[in-house]
A and B are shown apart, each in its own frame.
Chain A
Amino acid sequence: MRKTKWIFFFYLAVVGLFIVGVAFSLSFTPARDPYTLYTEHPGTIRTLDPAEAADQPAALILGELYECLYNYKYGVTPYELFPELAADMPVYSDGGRVMTIRLRKGIRFYDPEHKVFPSGVGPAITAKDVIYSFKRVCDANLSGVNYSTVFEDRIVGIEDWWNYTKTLPDSKLDWDRPVKGFQILDDHTIRLVMPQPNPQMIYNLAASWTSIVSRDAVNYWKQDFRLHPVATGAYYLKENLPDQRIVMEANPIYRGRPDVDGDADVPESQRLPHIKRMEYDYFTETLPPWILFTQGLFDAAVIPKESFNEAIQLQSGQLSEDLVKKGVILIKSPLPITEYIGFNMQDPILGKNLPLRQAMSMAFDRESYIKNFWNGRGLPAIGPIPPGFPTYDPKQVNPYTQFNLVAAREKMKQAEKINGGPIPPLHILMRDSDTLERQVAENLALQMNQIGLNVQPEYRDFARWNEMVDNRQTQLFDAGWVADYPDEQDFFQLFYGKNAPAMGVNSAAYVNPAFDKLYDRAAVLQGGPQRRRLYLQMGKIVMNDCPWLLVFYPTSYALHYDWLSGLRSMDYGYALRQYLSLDVALRRKRLEGR
């Protein structure tokens, strides 16, 4: 009896302690620093090593920490590059095959942990660091996720280096081994030699994958370099709690503005970054961050699709009054994205049946689709090139993206003739199985039913989707392309015949010699009226051949509170947060008013 009683009392005490602890812990809300920017971050960060990172969540963080040779001017459209670590724009020679780039002087690495460089301040960036960073991108030991994106086939002699890295582990590599295409002219000048003129190379030098890293830091941290960035950017990594949050603070030796030399004197009023500390929380579910935003605990947010009606008035497309009263501001901006449904041109039914593809394209009601599934957040697609590119023209008319059931049925008759009978059921491969994808697929099936086609959706995980599309094992597939740089070439490579074999980016496996000829001509041209003409011609060919059922160009709807200013929507570029500023008094006032 006595023993049992003690067990019972002990239990009561434990529960009591728990309750007291919970009550006590309620006051332990993580401290909110009035000068910190709070927001959410989508997805976990696998690595912060520029050479290894190939995903968007990592790129967003990398961009704040590291710097590249070039970057995009903040808030300027059409997009323009400026020299960031480079001193000026590259000088082209040998008909565009050779790029000579001068570097800024006196820009030093900062080591927040004072381990690689005991004082925290490292040496200034030299040509050697730049070439070293580029060679790392082409190191097979580092998984080389970015090799084919950036340098493969684009630098003379790079294959030799790549094959060489395959033979040895990282620690045994001779990093000074010469690569013909990567030349060091002097401490502050490098030269890139390309097998053929490549006007898009400069965009690669402005992508976070080619950020400049410190060789000392890599040697010091080795495998762990991915978690200990030593860089030159406006922020440094203060804290990285995997799957929880990432905290960045202003780099104390940052030169104040990205476009000045390391020893330039920037007046205090112009010094960036304005916000000295940023805290990002990771979220995979969409509900919690949205609640936190509406509670004012996050300064900026994207609207989950399901909460859209709550935030935006459907008729006017304006913010709901409730949010306006709280001081929320809406930024709408077109995204450089084309959403499409690909036709696998290797499929025996679809590939050789142009009228069928055209009929399907005409039978798809884009307006109602955008209204019903995207709350009107987007524009109906006309061609492969979305808004924001010079050759995009909203007034252009593509007969095959006009919703026209009569013409579509006409085309279907031709299509059946070509097919030698009725079209069998077609399958569309969807990228995911969430609510939205399901609704979209069911809607498409309904629309195609109107011209007598039976389209059956298949849902796959993104991994499986990738595998099937890359191996051309599909008929129709739901897809989208996000531009990597502001040049139409990025879209046209998706139709280039040489990219059509399995694994190539031409997922539709579209081959048209006439298109390829134009593409080859345009690929070596720097911008100008001649290239523009070629791009327009190429666009026309794609519109007519319909290797894609063009769907729409999405628009981004981002929200932020009015105490945060300086926010511009940028599709490319990085290191964007340094331009923001925080009105601390206004934030306090608004949050106290709740």
Chain B
Amino acid sequence: MWAYIVRRLLLSIPILIGIVILTFLLFDVVAPDPAIVYAGKFKSVEQLQAIRHQLGTDVPKWRQFVNILTFHFAPSFRYQESVWSLLARKAPISLAIQIPAFFIELGLQLVLALFVASRRGTILDYGVTLIAVLGMSVPIISLYLGAQWIFGGWLRWFPVAGWSPGFFYALHFAALPIIVSVIGGVGGGVRFYRTIVLEEINADYVRTARAKGVPAREVLFTHVFGNVLIPVLTNTIVVLPLLFTGSLVLEQLFQIPGFGALLVESIHAQDQPVVMFIVYITSLIYLVMLIFTDILYTLVDPRVTLK
């Protein structure tokens, strides 16, 4: 098992190098010189050199490359602040939206999926599935824009946009984004989990249990639910630690100063250190979580062994 973990970790090193190469290609080789962006209206050679020195872009490329691989990130050009402190400042804001949204969404998906699957073929099943597919098909931007306009601008139930520190103040601003993100995301999951539940319901052990006279509801909630949890777990565990990256669109539209909005703004403002940091860290976490998921498999399902 440990050998497996070490081997997987070693295998992810070339992937990490690939990621850095890719982001370097995208944001350093073909991007404009950031010094020009920050120099203002009047530029002189002297001044541009000074800015390059301050931003750290006059360091040789291979050095920058190694620095990123070894977690020595340059400070943000735009904020003149270490990327870690940016992370510490912005990630909690993104999480304040993402965590409630994620768990409410997941719960809703599971409940609906179980419910619908147990009434397979009825009007209810078709209705909910249809609504789920509808929810998947609505352009997410339209949903957000519409909700912002109706609930924020017109009915004035929620604030239009903005953010404020403090638990209830934050919730005041976060409520609408959380609700719309649940509405926007619930459909896909319901459909996905429904198929999983259906597969389980048709499994032999369910038939056996039913034949032995166990009530349908108990089979559903004990046996089926327990087995459905495995794909759910492996499906969600990968994204869970990435919740801090927030939602790009949601944060942009509702003016939430979280991590997602930071990324979009950093791309536009040529803030390469932040972009590289985000890409590198999220990919790293993703890779680690993939390994973790595999290990988790062996824990929840003894039949699986790692080689």
Contact = CB atoms under 8 A, between A and B. Distances in A.
Contact of B253 (A1, A285, A505): A285
Given A149-B42, A505-B41, A1 B50 contact: no
B80 A226 contact: yes
A285 B50 contact: no
Given A461-B268, A466-B32, A28 B50 contact: no
A143 B253 contact: no
A147 B47 contact: yes
A148 B37 contact: no
A136 to B, nearest CB: 13
Contacts of B205: none
Nearest to B269: A463
Contacts of B31: 463
B218 interface: yes
B255 A283 contact: yes
A463 B270 contact: yes
Interface in A244-275: 244
Dominant secondary structure at the B interface: helix
A152 B225 CA distance: 73
Interface in A23-45: 24-26, 28-30, 44
A28 B79 contact: no
Contacts of A292: 160
Nearest to A7: B225
A24 B168 contact: yes
Contacts of A146: 40
B38 A244 contact: no
Interface string B109-135: 001000000000000000000000000
Nearest to B225: A4
B33 interface: yes
A467 B33 contact: yes
Interface in B150-167: 152-153, 156-166
A541 interface: no
Interface string B5-36: 00000000000000000000000000111101
B46 A1 contact: no
A259 to B, nearest CB: 29
A347 interface: no
Contact of B47 (A47, A152, A287): A152
B51 A241 contact: no
Contacts of B50: 140-141, 143-144, 147, 166
Contacts of A52: 80
A226 B80 CA distance: 9
Centre residue among B36, B42, B252, B261 by max chain A CB count within 10 A: B42
Interface residues of A, number: 61
Given A288-B162, A467-B32, A149 B41 contact: yes
A28 B39 contact: no
A360 to B, nearest CB: 26
Contact of B40 (A1, A47, A149): A149
B71 interface: no
Contacts of A141: 50, 54
A470 to B, nearest CB: 6
A11 B47 contact: no
Interface in B243-284: 252-255, 257, 261-262, 265, 268-270
B68 interface: no
A243 B54 contact: no
B103 interface: yes
Given A47-B80, A283-B255, A463-B270, A291 B152 contact: yes
B36 A463 contact: yes
B53 interface: yes
Contact of A21 (B161, B164, B171, B218): B171
Contacts of A166: 50
B258 to A, nearest CB: 9
B50 to A, nearest CB: 4
Interface in B211-260: 218, 221-222, 225-226, 252-255, 257
A24 to B, nearest CB: 7
A314 interface: no
A52 B80 CA distance: 11
B137 to A, nearest CB: 25
A321 to B, nearest CB: 20
A344 to B, nearest CB: 17
B221 A291 contact: no
A89 interface: no
Contact of A285 (B46, B100, B161, B225): B161
A242 interface: yes
A467 B168 contact: no
A572 to B, nearest CB: 14
A558 B103 CA distance: 45
A22 B171 contact: yes
B40 A464 contact: no
B171 A25 contact: yes
A483 B165 CA distance: 39
A30 B107 contact: no
A54 interface: yes
A281 interface: yes
Given A46-B79, A166-B50, A26 B225 contact: no
Contacts of B166: 28
Nearest to A493: B42
A241 B32 contact: no
B37 A466 contact: yes
A288 B161 contact: yes
A288 B40 contact: no
A15 interface: yes
B32 A15 contact: no
B155 to A, nearest CB: 12
Given A162-B46, A288-B162, A461-B268, A25 B100 contact: no
A462 interface: yes
B270 A25 contact: no
A24 B169 CA distance: 10
A5 interface: yes
A226 B78 CA distance: 13
A221 B50 CA distance: 22
Contacts of A291: 152-153, 160-161
A28 B168 contact: yes
B202 interface: no
Contacts of B42: 148-149, 505
A281 B171 CA distance: 18
A373 interface: no
A387 to B, nearest CB: 21
22 contacts: A8-B111, A15-B104, A21-B168, A22-B171, A26-B157, A28-B171, A30-B164, A44-B78, A140-B50, A143-B38, A144-B50, A145-B39, A145-B51, A146-B40, A152-B44, A162-B46, A166-B50, A244-B165, A283-B255, A288-B160, A467-B33, A470-B43
Given A25-B169, A144-B51, 6 more contacts: A4-B221, A11-B111, A25-B175, A144-B47, A463-B37, A466-B36
Interface of A: 1, 4-5, 8, 11, 14-15, 18, 21-22, 24-26, 28-30, 44, 46-47, 52, 54-55, 140-149, 152, 162, 166, 226, 241-244, 281-285, 287-288, 291-292, 295, 461-464, 466-467, 470, 484, 503-505
Q: Which 8 residue pairs spanning A and B have beta carbons closest together? A: A243-B257, A288-B161, A54-B40, A148-B44, A25-B171, A467-B32, A28-B168, A25-B172
